[in-house]
Structure 1
Amino acid sequence: MAKRVRNTQLNGQRRGLINGALLLSLSALIAKVLSAVYRIPLQNLVGNTGFYVYQQVYPLYGIAMTFALSGLPVFISKLIAEISDPVTQRAVAKRIFVILAGLSVVLFIGLFIGAKQIAIGMGDGDLASLIRVVAGMALFMPELAVGRGFAQGRFNMRPTAISQVLEQVIRVAVIIIVAVLAAQQQWSVYKMGAWAMSGAIFGAIAATATFIPFYQRLFQMPEHVSLSADYRWWTLARRLWQEGGTICLFAAVVLLLQLVDSFTVKKGLVDAGMTQAAAKSLKGVYDRAQPLIQLGLVVATSFSATLLPTLSEALNGKERRAYQTTLTTLIHMSFALSVGATAGLVILMPVINLVLFGSMSGSLALAIYCLSIIFASLISTYNSILQSMNQYRLSLVALVVGVVMKIATNHAAVLAWGINGASWATVLGLASMMIVLWWGSPDDMREALTHRRFVPRLAVATGAMVVVTGIVGNGLLLLLGDGRLTAIVIVTVGVISGLATFIVTALRVHLFTTREWLTLPGGRRLLKLIQRD
């Protein structure tokens, strides 16, 4: 009887964990879509130069929020989950909060005082006001990271999900309101940028407010709690630096490469002979890639992310067969969806550019940049798997190699090929990172990616999609002529026909196993249709 009750409790905890992970994945999906989509009306309202001003400083905000909203909470949740005693959990959370509070004050002072020098390093001293606004975000890092991490460590995903969506909704609303006002009242692009960045502060305040009850309880606990040597101040600070730092940096990998662009692309264009005004405008065109990459990554990673709890469960339960099956499925889905999304974006890029941003300027650079989706999604997947094994060293080495490659090649590439060169440097950096991860990962992870049957079948499905989409797009262009309205029709029909072709071909060539199809929305229905045929 006791055994039955214990099994029932374990099954309940397991279902709660999976449901919580799904809730967290859904909130992350909503936040990512909002974070990508708002940039399109922003660029349309403020133009290429206004978009350049916002995007130059955005990586600083993005990295800070990645630390506060995803990277550090993951580390803190693992730390809290290691502890069974609630009093000890709160005492450790309190110490982590104090450590992070000290770090956040140092970051705030450094960014605020050094804003002018950072802006000059980006080639535009007028960006200093935006950087000072972003500096304020550092002060919210401890509250958000510890609040989220503590809740997740106790398998309560609701506070994180609510705060994540709330932060994005308020931030995006402020940005769009500011953009409309800036366009109507003809603000300078730098005034617009500073006020748009303030949306992050308002969003962070709202997100932090959701954790007020938690902090009231945290700081009402007894001051003196005896902790083991594993949770001494120095030990926690060291783990925060080594494990937490690696998780955070990898979560912000694309943002780190964008930060390199902020310091090199505009300056490189000026060094190549462009005027300041022309270089700012062209950098704004180049920055159009960011929402496209984010949307592509949402497509490529959202479905596969739901498999991570199953993977961890199989690993912890030492169920080797289930672990291997889930790992292969995870890598296959990430690879196939990223390749499909990339191919669709590349083939339709000129008309997508016209629909979203009002011109076809920089379409080649954007198409090249979209190749990053494949590597970035695989990097994210491989890193998540390695983290589930508590392996961090390989990820850190790969990260350093990729960022160094981007830094080493970016300026020269911009001098030689303009923004096309910057796109190639980003792809090269991410490809280098992926090669290091693949080479150093366990055999089963390497074999899942390079399976001799999977890769050729994926090439067939993708090739069929590209051919059909290209024929449909060019046919509609000849039939309907140029224009933004025509482009909307081409994109809509092209996406539908391309997706249908990819799915049908994938079914015919048996690209995915039955288990893999069932992880996709509507997968069961698709399998029934093909079996009926």
Structure 2
Amino acid sequence: MGSKSRQSFVTGAAILGAAALTSKLLGAIYRIPYQNITGDVGLAAYNKVYPLYSMLLIMATAGFPLAISKIVAERLALGDKIGARRVLNISVYVLSVTGFIFFALLFFGASSIARWMGNPELTIVIKSVSFALLIVPTMAAIRGYYQGHQYMIPTANSQIVEQIVRVITILILSYWFINNGYSVYYAAAGATFGAVTGAIFAFLVLLLYWKKTNQITDEMILESGKIHIGKQEDTTQVIKKILYYSIPIALGSIILPFFQIVDSFSVSNVIALSVTKSKFLFGTYLKGQMLANFTEYWFGIYSRGQALIQFAAFFATSLSIALVPAVSGAKAKNDMDLVAKGTELALRLTLMIGLPASIGLAVLAEPVNIMLYKDNVGTDTMAILAFTTIFSTLFMTSSGILQGIGKVMLPAKNLLIAVIFKLVLNITLVYYISINGAAIATVTAYGLAATLNIVSIMRYIDIKISFSNFILKPVIATLMMGLFVFISKILIQVGLEPIILSERLLMAIIALTSVGIGVLSFVVSLFISGAITRQDLNRIPKYGQKMIKLADKVKILKG
């Protein structure tokens, strides 16, 4: 693959990290216009089905790109380009088979799965997304092959193209179906079909790179049967090696979608049970599809907060990508003092992102809800869900730290405990307090997962946590920010309400202005209190020096 294949590992990791963050950002934003097009029932239909597809996709492919890249790199280190290509061929075959199996399970089991989710209308939505499982697994093999050559650009560009095409498909097809009089379930099916179109275009990108970079001809492969006879591992050995590397990663990755799947299968069913037991609701007895649509509506209201939580988590992921490699590097050198300092900084900065994001969204839940979703239904649920941000961001950063010190499976085990806990809480709380119960269950379960991770970190890393710097100063800064945001919200509403007649525009001005005031007041409070020092910023790769220069200009940096 020429000089391109000799990219440094660090550069390659940075390219993949940037692509992953871009994809996550796009994935967090599109749900808002999609809900505006289809309404809350359409949002519910999509949010119920897509996590199931994500879980099956992980089962079919998770860990394979990394496993394939590792084995390909081993072959290349021995100068065996033909052997590396053979690993790709075997991987494509294996993943094509697993992809077809999971496609068949999802497509032919769609009606049963839809009933288990509490709504037979979801059948078409499930069938629509199932076709992606015929394409994406093969892409995983090709991406792993390129990564084994340390050529990350094809993987990164294909990921970005996949997400862009997916989002465009979601918005265009959902709009077309709604505009032409089809039900929201057809619109949701069009949205989930975005996974298929995204995969097709991403696959085409990979094929273009393959055409440009492939240096192994068919003649060379045929000749290799003579040249490398006796040196190649048999197919069974290659498959065993791929599974050996990939299964632990898959087991670690599969738990996260279970959080959403618990909601997909429990929230609507428990709400339906609660309504059925009460016999009457608003004077009307609900049954059949009318009951299903009613429960979908409330699941959609519950889902409104998910996009905002993902958006906040995007920044925590960015921080994790920047800091965790430094922790891993220090561990590789057995410099446990540096590991401890890096861990403490990563957790403290994550807390400084998650805490104000949670409080800010909780305070601004009503204007944000109206600004993004047109009305204030479910504002209290969104305010509760806001507190997921602090725990989910802490969980993600702490998971990265544990993986960096070699405890790869610990975060998955901790999250599995939290998922079981959430299921129990969902069944208990949703019956009595509907979607607010699901929101409380989510916050509590993520809190448990984050706590278990941090306890695990303290078991393996001797971190010194200053109560003042780690908790007291950030909490004080957050409370000050919350006060400023609350006051600004009231003042702006009182001042502009007589002038601006559009409620949605007014709430947009309130939300955006208050967010700006909140961020500014929080950052200034952190620097003035000494919660963030010059030494802290110096330890942040890439961005630290820029932040120091900016803070020095306004003279708010201590230390």
* TM-score, normalised by the number of residues in structure 1: 0.89
- The residue that corresponds to 1:439 in the other structure is 455
Confirm or deny that 1:60 pairs with 2:52. Answer: yes
After the TM superposition, which residues 311-326 of structure 1 pair with which residues of structure 2 at under 5 Å, given as runs?
311-326=327-342
> Is the 1:92–1:231 Cα contact (8 Å) retained in structure 2?
no
Which residue identity does 1:465 align to in structure 2?
M
State the distance in 2 between where 1:450 and 1:76 align. Answer: 43
CA distance in 2, matches of 1:22, 1:134: 30
- Deviation of residue 378 (structure 1)? 1.8
Higher mean displacement: 36-45 or 477-486: 477-486
Closer, same or farther: CA 458–218 of 1 in aligned 2, 3 Å? farther
Q: Partner amino acid for 1:309? A: P
Conserved in 2, the CA contact under 8 Å of 1:60 and 1:259? Answer: yes
Higher mean C-alpha displacement, 221-230 vs 381-390: 221-230
CA distance in 1 between counterparts of 2:354 and 2:64 reads 26
1:211-244 CA deviation, whole Å, 9 max, x = no partner? 2254966895446652399954334324322x22
Alignment of 1:507-518 (within 5 A): 507-518=527-538
The 1-side partners of 2:517 and 2:234 are apart by: 61
* Residues 229 and 107 of structure 1, relative CA distance in 2, 3 Å threshold: closer
Q: Which residue of 2 aligns with 1:205?
A: 200
Which secondary structure state, in structure 1, belongs to the residue aligned with residue 193 of structure 2?
Answer: helix
- Confirm whether residue 103 of structure 1 aligns to residue 98 of structure 2: yes
Instruction: Verify the 8 A CA contact 1:264 1:410 in the aligned structure 2.
Output: yes
Mapped partners of 1:229, 1:513: distance in 2: 56
Match of 1:404 in 2: 420
Higher radius of gyration, 1 or 2: 2
1:21 and 1:309 in contact (8 A); partners too: no
- The 1:239/1:506 distance shift into structure 2, 3 A limit, reads same
Alignment-derived partner of residue 298 in structure 1: 314
1:506 maps to which residue? Answer: 526
Partner residue in 1 for 2:161: 166
Correspondence for 1:350: 366
1:347 and 1:445 mapped to 2: Cα distance?
Answer: 36
1:8 is matched with none
Which residue is 1:3 aligned to?
none
| Aligned residues of 1:272 and 1:415 also touching (Cα < 8 A) | yes
**Deviation of residue 207 (structure 1)?**
1.0
User: Quick one: which of 332, 340, 343 aligns to 2:348?
Assistant: 332
Q: Which residue of 1 aligns with 2:23?
A: 31
How far off is 1:145 after superposition?
A: 1.8
The alpha-carbon deviation at position 151 of structure 1 amounts to 2.7
The answer to whether the 8 A contact 1:300-1:377 is kept is yes
Q: Equivalent of 1:237, from 243, 262, 270?
A: 243
Equivalent-residue separation in structure 2 for 1:166 and 1:314 (angstroms): 35
Alpha-carbon distance between aligned partners in 1 of 2:366 and 2:556, rounded to the nearest angstrom: 39
Pairs aligned (count): 518
- Please list every run of 5 or more consecutive structure 2 residues that lacks an aligned counterpart in the other structure: 276-280
Matches of 2:463 and 2:520, distance apart in 1: 29
Contact 2:527 2:533 in 1 (8 A): no
Q: 1:181 aligns with which of 172, 176, 185?
A: 176
Query: 1:266 is aligned with what amino acid?
Result: S
- Which region of structure 1 is more displaced relative to structure 2, 75-84 or 142-151? 75-84
Among 221, 229, 232, the residue aligned to 1:226: 232
Letter in 1 for 2:29: V
Is the aligned partner of 1:265 residue 2:267? Answer: yes
* Partner Cα separation in structure 2 for residue 424 and residue 144 of structure 1: 38
CA distance in 2, matches of 1:499, 1:285: 27
Residue from 520, 525, 529 that aligns with 2:549: 525
**1:147·1:211 contact (CA, 8 Å) conserved in 2?**
yes
Give the Cα–Cα distance (whole angstroms) in 1 for the partners of residues 504 and 367 of structure 2: 8
Task: Find 1:112's aligned residue among 102, 107, 111.
Answer: 107
CA RMSD of aligned residues (A): 2.9
Given that 1:293 and 1:372 are in contact with CA atoms closer than 8 Å, whether structure 2 keeps it comes out as yes
Query: Does 2:379 correspond to 1:363?
Result: yes
Q: Which amino acid aligns with 2:266?
A: T
Aligned equivalents of 1:105, 1:298: Cα separation in 2 = 32
Rate the CA distance shift 1:207–1:515 in 2: closer, same or farther, 3 A: farther
Once residues 140 and 511 of structure 1 are traced to their aligned partners in structure 2, the CA distance between those partners, rounded to angstroms, is 49
Cα deviations across residues 44-69 of structure 1 (Å, max 9, x unaligned)? 11111122222221212333556688
In the alignment, residue 19 of structure 1 is paired with which amino acid? Answer: T
Decide whether the 8 Å contact of 2:60 with 2:99 is kept in 1: no
1:396-420 Cα deviation digits (max 9, x unpaired): 3212201111122212211111100
Query: Shift of residue 175 of structure 1?
Result: 1.0
- Alpha carbons of structure 1 residues 16 and 240: separation in structure 2 relative to 1, 3 Å: closer
The residue number in structure 2 matching 1:488 is 508
Distance in 2 of aligned mates of 1:406 and 1:236: 33
Gaps of 5+ in 1: 1-11
What is the Cα deviation at residue 75 of structure 1?
A: 4.9
**Map of 1:196 onto structure 2:** 191
Distance of 1:74 and 1:458 partners within structure 2: 38
Q: CA deviation at 1:309?
A: 3.0
Q: Which residue in 2 is equivalent to 1:469? A: 485
SS in 2 for 1:306: helix
2:278 maps to none
Opposite residue 237 of structure 1, the aligned amino acid is L
Q: Secondary structure at the match of 2:150?
A: coil
**SS of the counterpart of 1:210?**
helix
Does residue 309 (structure 1) correspond to residue 309 (structure 2)? The answer is: no
1:426 aligns with 2:471: no
**In the alignment, does 2:308 pair up with 1:288?**
no
The amino acid that maps onto 2:239 is: W
Partner of 2:375, secondary structure, is coil
CA distance in 2, matches of 1:437, 1:345: 25
| In 2, Cα distance between equivalents of 1:151 and 1:70 | 16
Residue range with higher mean Cα deviation, 123-132 or 16-25: 16-25
Contact 2:60 2:95 in 1 (8 A): no
The letter of the residue matching 1:248 is S
Per-residue deviation, 1:444: 6.2
Read off the aligned partner of 1:351 and give its amino acid letter. P
Residue of structure 2 aligned with 1:248, choices 226, 241, 253: 253
1:307: Cα distance to partner? 2.4
For residues 445 and 494 of structure 1, the distance between their equivalents in structure 2, rounded to whole angstroms, comes to: 39
| Residues 30-88 of structure 1 deviation map (CA, whole Å, 9 limit, x = unaligned) | 21121111111111111111222222212123335566887543454455556633535
Q: Does 1:40 align with 2:42?
A: no
Structure 1 pair 451/144, CA: closer, same or farther in 2 (3 Å)? farther
Quickly say closer, same or farther: Cα 1:333–1:74, change in 2 above 3 A. farther
Q: 2:10 aligns with which of 18, 30, 41?
A: 18
Question: Cα distance 1:95–1:315, how it changes in 2: closer, same or farther (>3 A)?
Answer: farther
